[in-house]
Chains A and B, each alone.
Chain A
Amino acid sequence: MNRGTYHDPRNGSRVAGDHEGILMRLSDYGTGDCEMIRDGMFSSLGSVFTRFPGQLVSATREDEIKKIQRNPSVTCVITVDRLVMQVPENLGILSAGDPWKLFHEIAGSLSRQKEQTLEPFENQISPSAIIHPSATIACRSVRIGKHVSIGKNVVIHEHTAIEDGAIIRSGSIIGNSKTPLSSGISDNDTMKPLGGVHIQRDVDIHANTIIDRAFFKGCTEIGTQTKIDNLVHIGPGAEIGNRCLVVACAEIGEAVRIGDDSWIGPNVTLADQVLIGKNVYITLGSAVTHDIGDDKVVKDNYALDRKRFKKVMRGM
């Protein structure tokens, strides 16, 4: 690969300029209501799961710090006061009252630099796709595969790739690029995200669902044969595995990873940067704020082994 450009194979786009070359100093951004603990250099933004070289991440919980300790590509961390002591010594630290807000501000100011925007490409829409005339599709950088069905009042933003056989039903918004923390007219309104949305084969997205664009490199991924019900919101940078079922009114946070064959129940809330394993069953109304291993049942805030849960339920 040419070192000067970053090529994204999934949607054919390309980030012009050199990500690895531009090194930024953390102290340049440490203004306002934040405290500089240790200075450091970074070249890109990411989540605790991504492996971009020299990345800056944000952490608000203890298990996020544990993930940073296992991720060698992290060089700088924005965190809260009580977690400063747990961060490894070789990393740059910025302590802020609201780490996510500062992280989004840095993302906004970086994205305004011209060399870090995604390069647009022409729309590639298959002639066998069925698109309702009331749907709105961005005029560039959208790829739609064969036999895709797009329903009424759907809005599809730039840098979205939809693979063969996917169905998007009425009122859904794909590739929404507003971050949840931008209030009113602020700097974040002019933010240009570096990522996109990638919807794989045979995905079914029901009515009034919103899927956000990733604001750092990479895509918000929806795996093959995953089905998403009405009124679900999927945060930027989330990766959902294959054959998952996400039921109505679920709220999936930023950069969440979900394994294959999982069931995310109705009205479930997943916190930011949480790792959900394979074959997990999360019951209705649960709020998940820590990592869940494989084959677990989550009932409100408790995690149980799935086989044991089935035995208990049969005994009742």
Chain B
Amino acid sequence: MILQKIFHNLKSPGIADSWLVHTRLMQYFLKTGLKSYNFLVMRTGLFQQAITGSQGTGNTLDPTAIIDYNHVIIGDFTTIEKNVVIEKNSTIGNHVLIEDGAAIGSEGFEFRRVAGEVLPVHHTGGVIIHDNVRIGQRVCIDKSMQFPSTEIGNSSVILAHSHIGHGVKIGQDTLLAEGTMVGGHASIGNRVRIGKDCSLADAIIIGDDVVVPDRTVVTRNMQKMIHEPGNLS
């Protein structure tokens, strides 16, 4: 949690734009700090939290699916189709359907521009998929930077070619149509419907029972239904 607070504070514009951060000494300090953190995460178990894997009964797992069985929990009566990739620290509930080519628990998109270089921040979190969820073809769900995990609530449906960023929370009975892009750390309520090819900015909050039309760009928090599609920025 302390690490998460540090990363969050470094990202806020008050600190990121200040002259102190852009001094040569501070840039060197940040660069070595980030590089040593990445090294420790990759080579040692110091910041790693790994869950031990288990499998329920009645599952249909295709032999072409690649699942890290040692660190993935799978519930009962779950179907996983062809060429699905499920990475470390994923938890999948009961009666879940995951369709062809989905990538669950892959690395999130978090980079820092420090001292003229683009440095990655390695992710150690996971993904939790609750019961009765359907995940479409070629959907990508990224794992969170640290715990708590990216979460998808009960009875939600995510259709083909959608992208769910790191640290997203999706409530119950929510539908995300084809091609939806959800940015990192967004929070979506219960019974929400999001149309085709929408873009949701990072760290926004969408309340319960909201309906978003097709091809909408959402950059502000939303608490009620909107009727006209278009750019909300």
Does the CB pair B118–A207 fall under 8 Å?
A: no
Complex CA distance for A266 and B165, rounded to whole angstroms: 11
Neighbouring B residues of A248 by C-beta, 8 Å: 109, 140, 163, 165, 181
Does the CB pair A249–B181 fall under 8 Å?
A: yes
Given contacts A171-B101, A245-B111, A248-B109, contact A134 B66 (CB under 8 A): yes
Does the CB pair A243–B85 fall under 8 Å?
A: no
Neighbouring B residues of A230 by C-beta, 8 Å: 103, 106, 109, 140, 142, 163
Neighbouring A residues of B201 by C-beta, 8 Å: 284
What are the interface flags for A273-285 relative to B under an 8 Å C-beta threshold, 1 for contact and 0 otherwise? Answer: 0000000000111
Closest to A244 in B: B118
Closest to B219 in A: A284
The B-contacting residues of A in range 190-231, CB under 8 angstroms, are 204, 206-208, 225-227, 229-231
Neighbouring A residues of B161 by C-beta, 8 Å: 231, 249
Does the CB pair A225–B138 fall under 8 Å?
A: no
Neighbouring B residues of A152 by C-beta, 8 Å: 66, 85
Does the CB pair B140–A208 fall under 8 Å?
A: yes
Q: In the complex, what's the smallest C-beta–C-beta distance from A167 to chain B, in angstroms?
A: 9
Does the CB pair A169–B181 fall under 8 Å?
A: no
Does the CB pair A207–B140 fall under 8 Å?
A: yes
Complex CA distance for A69 and B70, rounded to whole angstroms: 61
A27 on interface, CB distance cutoff 8 Å: no
Closest to B216 in A: A285
Chief secondary structure at chain A's binding surface: loop
Q: In the complex, what's the smallest C-beta–C-beta distance from A231 to chain B, in angstroms?
A: 5
Q: Total interface residues on B, using CB and 8 Å?
A: 31
A258 on interface, CB distance cutoff 8 Å: no
Complex CA distance for A300 and B215, rounded to whole angstroms: 13
Closest to A261 in B: B113
B183 on interface, CB distance cutoff 8 Å: yes
Neighbouring A residues of B199 by C-beta, 8 Å: 249, 266-267, 284-285
Q: In the complex, what's the smallest C-beta–C-beta distance from A185 to chain B, in angstroms?
A: 24
What are the interface flags for B204-233 relative to A under an 8 Å C-beta threshold, 1 for contact and 0 otherwise? Answer: 000000000000010100000000000101
Does the CB pair B138–A208 fall under 8 Å?
A: yes
Neighbouring A residues of B111 by C-beta, 8 Å: 227, 245
Does the CB pair A153–B85 fall under 8 Å?
A: yes
Q: Which of A207, A225, A285, A300 lies in contact with B85, CB distance below 8 A? A: A207
Complex CA distance for A284 and B182, rounded to whole angstroms: 11
Q: In the complex, what's the smallest C-beta–C-beta distance from B150 to chain A, in angstroms?
A: 13
Complex CA distance for A299 and B232, rounded to whole angstroms: 12
B83 on interface, CB distance cutoff 8 Å: yes
B residues neighboring A (CB under 8 Å): 66, 83, 85, 87, 101, 103, 106-107, 109, 111, 113, 116-118, 120, 138, 140, 142, 161, 163, 165, 179, 181, 183, 197, 199, 201, 217, 219, 231, 233
Known: A170-B103, A245-B109, A249-B181. 15 other contacts (CB 8 A): A169-B103, A207-B140, A208-B138, A226-B118, A227-B111, A231-B140, A245-B111, A248-B109, A248-B165, A249-B163, A267-B199, A284-B199, A284-B219, A300-B217, A300-B231
